């Protein structure tokens, strides 16, 4: 319910004042030449920002809750010494929270700069053209409110983005510490590592979906892309960065554990084989033990070396297709709307 109401409130905070101030009557008609669904660049950008606002507020609480649930499910494959570390990670007084706020403020400063170089006429409304001559020119007839709205909402989103980036890095470091020092691999029950896989994939999907929503900006030809394109490229890099390192570390741990167990089993098989060549009682006992050891060796040898099963990989591949589906779908719907209008 909250996730649905936040975008509506944000949209209303833009569209209603813009309409009351006569923005849509005074704005130059040329502003609609590259419109999306009949919306001018300001209105389309406000629509996308509102979607991002609702998404970030809803996904933050959801991701934190699910990550903690999976951390609890991960306890059976962690050393008991890791339990105290997990309690510290959940502590409300941990210093990472303060650092996260600082990262948020840094993101807010970046957001102000991005708004100044992307929102048409904002530098003129603030009389800063002498400092930022590269700022987009104003759209004839647009009221000052529509530019100032982005000066407020843009930095707020960048504050959340800065915090999200910091916590993605800090929690990635925490997860690496858990994996390197406390993770225990049971090759007979590799599925117990599924919570670790879900954490990595969930964090990656959060960034991917956010980038997908943000890429809707590019549907409007009237939106300046100079500062936005590197931003969304960086988000894609983050999505890969929060996904692959944890999975690669688990893969390496599985490979190492598998090699150790196979070396031990094969040494035992060779020893029993040598004993079996003797025709005494020990040889007969060795012959009886060999089938079990060989079966166990085959069982260990067939254990997959990645903590991702086919079903999980398929779902994640579908998530990766979200950007493509949204871009293609958006383009098709826009063509249909243009054909009927």
The total of other beta-carbon atoms located within 10 Å of residue 85's CB is: 15
Give the Cα separation of 63 and 201 in Å (integer).
11
Q: What is the pLDDT of residue 262?
A: 92
Q: What is the pLDDT of residue 259?
A: 93
Q: What is the pLDDT of residue 42?
A: 82
Q: What is the pLDDT of residue 102?
A: 93
Closest CA to 304 of 246, 251, 262, 265: 251
**Structure letter (DSSP) for residue 184:** -
Q: What is the pLDDT of residue 153?
A: 92
Q: What is the pLDDT of residue 260?
A: 92
- Per the document, the length of the chain is 341
- In terms of Cβ atoms closer than 10 Å to its own Cβ (0-12, 13-18, 19+), residue 113 is middle
Query: Alpha carbon of 167 to those of 51, 88, 95, 103, 112: distances in Å?
Result: 22, 15, 12, 9, 21
9: helix, strand or coil: helix
Give the Cα separation of 181 and 265 in Å (integer).
25
Q: What is the pLDDT of residue 264?
A: 92
**Helices 2-20 & 144-182 angle (0-180, nearest 10):** 160
Give the Cα separation of 280 and 258 in Å (integer).
34
Give the Cα separation of 63 and 203 in Å (integer).
7
Q: Where are the domains of the chain?
A: 2-27+37-340
Q: What is the pLDDT of residue 202?
A: 85
* Contact (CB, 8 A) for 86 and 67: no
* Contact (CB, 8 A) for 78 and 178: yes
Torsion angle in degrees (nearest 10) through CA of 220, 224, 225, 230: -140
For the chain, 341 residues long, the average pLDDT of each consecutive 10-residue run is 76 88 68 62 86 84 82 82 74 78 93 88 86 80 85 91 87 83 85 85 84 78 70 81 86 91 91 81 83 90 82 63 57 55 52
Q: What is the pLDDT of residue 31?
A: 54
Give the Cα separation of 182 and 203 in Å (integer).
22
Instruction: Encode pLDDT of 110-145 as tens digits.
Output: 999 988 888 888 888 888 888 888 877 877 777 888
Q: Which two tokens stand for residue 331?
A: 């383009």
Q: What is the pLDDT of residue 38?
A: 66
Reported pTM:
0.77
305: helix, strand or coil: coil
Q: What is the pLDDT of residue 107?
A: 92
Q: What is the pLDDT of residue 55?
A: 86
Closest CA to 157 of 333, 6, 38: 6
67: helix, strand or coil: helix
Instruction: Encode pLDDT of 9-39 as tens digits.
Output: 888 898 898 888 887 776 655 555 555 666 7
């Amino acid at each position: 319910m909250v996730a649905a109401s936040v975008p509506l409130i944000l949209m209303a905070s833009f569209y209603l004042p813009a309409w009351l101030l006569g923005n849509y009557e005074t704005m130059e008609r040329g502003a609609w030449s590259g419109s999306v669904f009949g919306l001018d660049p300001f209105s389309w950008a406000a629509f996308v920002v509102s979607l991002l606002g609702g998404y970030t507020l809803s996904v933050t609480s959801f991701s934190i809750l699910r990550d903690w649930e999976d951390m609890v499910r991960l306890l059976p494959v962690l050393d008991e010494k890791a339990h105290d570390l997990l309690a510290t990670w959940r502590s409300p007084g941990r210093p990472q929270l303060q650092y996260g706020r600082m990262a948020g403020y840094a993101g807010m400063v970046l957001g102000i700069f991005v708004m100044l170089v992307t929102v048409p006429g904002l530098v003129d409304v603030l009389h800063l053209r002498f400092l930022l001559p590269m700022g987009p020119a104003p759209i004839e007839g647009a009221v000052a409110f529509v530019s100032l709205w982005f000066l407020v909402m843009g930095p707020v989103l960048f504050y959340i983005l800065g915090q999200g980036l910091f916590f993605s890095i800090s929690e990635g470091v925490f997860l690496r510490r858990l994996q390197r020092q406390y993770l225990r691999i049971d090759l007979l029950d590799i599925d117990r590592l599924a919570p670790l896989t879900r954490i990595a994939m969930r964090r990656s999907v959060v960034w991917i979906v956010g980038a997908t929503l943000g890429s809707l900006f590019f549907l409007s030809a009237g939106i300046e892309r100079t500062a936005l394109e590197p931003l969304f490229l960086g988000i894609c890099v983050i999505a890969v960065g929060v996904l692959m390192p944890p999975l690669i570390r688990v893969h390496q741990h599985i490979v190492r554990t598998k090699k150790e167990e196979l070396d031990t089993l094969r040494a035992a098989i060779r020893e029993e084989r040598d004993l079996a060549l003797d025709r005494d009682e020990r040889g007969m006992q060795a012959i009886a033990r060999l089938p079990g050891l060989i079966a166990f060796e085959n069982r260990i040898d067939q254990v997959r070396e990645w903590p991702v099963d086919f079903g999980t990989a398929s779902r994640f591949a579908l998530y990766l297709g979200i950007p493509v589906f949204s871009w293609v779908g958006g383009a098709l719907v826009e063509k249909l709307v243009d054909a009927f209008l």
